[in-house]
Amino acid sequence: MWKPSMWIDTHCHLDAGEFAGETDAVRERARAAGVRHCVLPAVLPGNFDAVRELAHRHGDSYALGIHPLCTGAAGDGDLVLLDRALAAARDDPRLVAVGEIGLDYFVPDLDAARQEHFYREQLQLARRHGLPVLLHVRRSADQLLRELRRAPVGGIVHAFNGSQQQAREFVKLGFRLGFGGTVTYERALQIRRLARELPATALVLETDAPDIPPRWLYRTAQERAGGAPQGRNEPGELPAIGAALAALRGMEAEELAAVTSRNACAALPRLGALLRI
C-alpha cells in the first residue's frame, strides 16, 4: 500500500564511479530518508548489467539506453546491443524505460548529427519494445520535440530546463518533467517559476545523483580552492529537495510526494505495476 511519506527518485545513477564500494550504504541511507524507489538509467551498453543488477538488488527499476554524451564513442553495433538487451529483458518488470537518451547541444565538440541519429534510432527502439523514454535535454528541447512528433512515445524529460511553452508541448505529448536540486537555488529563477506554476500533474522528482547537488551541498570555486570538497549528491537528498519544491508551490511535502509518485507511475507504466500504486 502506498505511503504518502515515501518518495520516488526518477533519475539516479547509482552505478556511477562516485559511489563505488558504497552503493549499498548510499541506497540504505536513501531508504531511511523515505525514498521508496529509484529509477536507474544506463548511459551505454557497458553499464547495462550494472544498472540491472543494482535494481534487482535494491528493489528498484532501471532503463537501458545510450546517452548523447556517449555517442561519440558509440557505434551502430551498440544500437544492436541495446535492441537485444531490451528484447532479453522483455519480461523483466524492473525494466521500465529506454534511457537515458536525448540530445545535448551545450557541450562543445559533440557531433550533433551523430547524436540525432542515435536519438532517432532509440525512439524507434522504444516504440518497438513498447517502452517510454527518459530524455536528456540541454539546449535541445525543440529538436527533441520535433522527433517526438514523428515517433510519439511518452516518458520523462529529465532535469527539464526549457521554457514554459516547451514544457507545455512536452506535457501535450504525454511527458512528465523532472525537477531536482536546481529548484533549491534562489537564483534559478526560470526553473523555480516553472516548478511553481506548472500543473502538479506534470511534475516528477529526481536527484540525478551524484550530479546536480542541491544548494546545501554546493561549494563555490573559491571554497573548493580552499580545500572544501564539492558535495556529492545522493538519492537520500530527494525528500529535502521535494520539501523545497513543495514550499515553492505552497503544498505539504507529503502531498507532493504522493502526487509526484503517481505521476512517475503514469509516465512509466511498468513502474506503477511494480509498485502497485
Residues placed in the known binding site for a divalent metal cation: 11, 13, 100, 136, 158, 208
Task: Tell me the C-alpha distance between 152 and 27, whole Å.
Answer: 34
Report the C-alpha dihedral over residues 43, 101, 205, 33, rounded to 10 degrees.
-10
**CA 61/CA 251 separation, integer angstroms:** 28
Number of Cβ within 10 Å of residue 132's Cβ equals 24
The whole-angstrom separation of Cα 52 and Cα 249 is: 35
CB of 100 closer than 8 Å to CB of 136: yes
Q: Which residues are annotated as a binding site?
A: 11, 13, 100, 136, 158, 208
CB burial of residue 130 (10 Å; 0-12, 13-18, 19+): exposed
Distance of CA 107 to the CA centre of its chain: 19
Q: Which three cell numbers stand for residue 86?
A: 531490451
Under a CB-based contact definition with an 8 Å cutoff, are residues 180 and 241 in contact?
Answer: yes
Contacts for 206 with CB less than 8 Å, ≥ 6 apart: 9, 10, 11, 12, 158, 159, 178, 179, 180, 238
The answer to whether 18 touches 34, Cβ cutoff 8 Å, is no
